[in-house]
Every structure is written in C-alpha cells, then in structure tokens.
Structure 1
C-alpha cells in the first residue's frame, strides 16, 4: 500500500470514527442496551486508535518505505473493517454470530503492530 493511500484511508477512518461516535452518543444512546452500546463504543475506540496508527505508518512510509510497512498498513486498514465493522454490525443488529469475525480483525491489528516493529528494527 502506498504512503498516500495509507494517509488517505487514515483520514477516512478518522472521519468515519467521529461520525460513528457522534451517532452512537446521540442517536443510539437510548436505543441500545448498555451491553450493545459498550460494544459499539469499543468499535469506535479501536477504529480511532488504528486510524492513528495507519496515519503514522503512512507518514513513516514517506521517508522509509518498505514491504513490511506496506503490509502493516494493509493489516491496520483491513483490521479496522473486520474488527470495528463486525462490532458495529453486532451492536446494531444484535446478531451475536457477527462477533466471530471480530478476532480476525484483532489478529490483523496484532500482525500490523509486529510488522511495524520489525520494519522499524530493520530500517531506523
């Protein structure tokens, strides 16, 4: 993934995180059970943290590009879609089986962090 695409996706995920967070705080507060609202908030929180991670990876890729860094960016981006996306879907639908997708996104987050660390150890 190019540095430009990583930074663009980070901006998009950050923008959506603000929108989803506001939607959850205002429109869903009275409609979801406390358990489902907590799940929704977890999705927003992880989306934000990993949007920031994706931004950092994109900025680093501008000066120190490499295949591990690119793979880290993909892991963060796809991880956001799977982890946060599955939690949003679970919270809004109440269909618990959607939670089975969440650990795949979490694993991608972990792999992304390891790839970032290995890239840093090799290139910085």
Structure 2
C-alpha cells in the first residue's frame, strides 16, 4: 500500500529542524523569552507530528488493513494546525489563533489514540 505519510512525516521533520535552527540563531535575538518558549513548543510538536507520520507510513506498510488514512489525516492536520498557530502566536500573530490551537492538539491526540488502537488490534489478531 502506497501512502504519503512516511514522506510527509520526513518533510515535517526537515521543517522542524529548520524552524529549530531559525529559533536558535535568528529569533533568539528578536523575541522575548515567552515568545521564544512558544516557538520552541511549536518546533517540538512539529517533531512529534513528523515522527508520528513516519510511524504511520511504516504501520501502513506492515498492516495495510489498518486505519492509517484516518491516523495520517488526523496527525498531519493536527500538526499543521497546532504548530502553525503556536508559531504565529510566537511571532505576534492575532490572539484569536489561541482559540484554534486546541483543535490541533485534539487531532494529534485522536491520531495517536487511533494508532494505538490499530497496534492493539494487530497484536490480538497475530
């Protein structure tokens, strides 16, 4: 089964490394401590989502019958929503973005719960 999740996760990991370097080298002198902490949170969750999507791609390869499309969509959309809104807030974006951020977190949680359920289901049938 061919899925985009491994490649998308790898691309997100590359973005996370670049965003982390940007924060460490350029933004450190431009942002206050609170904003820099927000930026680091955004980067951390880009890594979490990226690794989750890589795992989703591997899971889809090992057990193609699993719910990997749902897992991938939840993790990808959750990572983008959470990461982008937190990064935008760090850079002085509109405060209403803070109301959108939890939706990304819920999608991430849902994606990882679905991944765990797929693993338990696979383990039971083997």
TM-score, shorter chain, exceeding 0.5:
yes
Gap runs ≥5 in structure 2: none
Matched, 1:32 2:25: no
- For residue 53 of structure 1, report the CA deviation from its aligned partner: 1.2
- For residue 69 of structure 1, report the CA deviation from its aligned partner: 2.1
Matched, 1:13 2:29: no
Number of corresponding residues: 123
- For residue 66 of structure 1, report the CA deviation from its aligned partner: 3.2
Residue 73 of structure 1 corresponds to 72
Residue 82 of structure 1 corresponds to 81
Q: CA RMSD in A?
A: 1.4
Is the 2:60–2:66 Cα contact (8 Å) retained in structure 1? Answer: no
Residues 1-124 of structure 1: matches in 2 within 5 Å? 3-66=2-65, 68-124=67-123
CA–CA distance in 2 between the matches of 1:4 and 1:71?
A: 12
CA-to-aligned-CA distance 1:51-70 (integer Å, 9 cap, x gap)? 11110111111020235222
Gap runs ≥5 in structure 1: none
CA-to-aligned-CA distance 1:88-120 (integer Å, 9 cap, x gap)? 111112422211111000000110011111111
Is the 1:68–1:118 Cα contact (8 Å) retained in structure 2? Answer: no
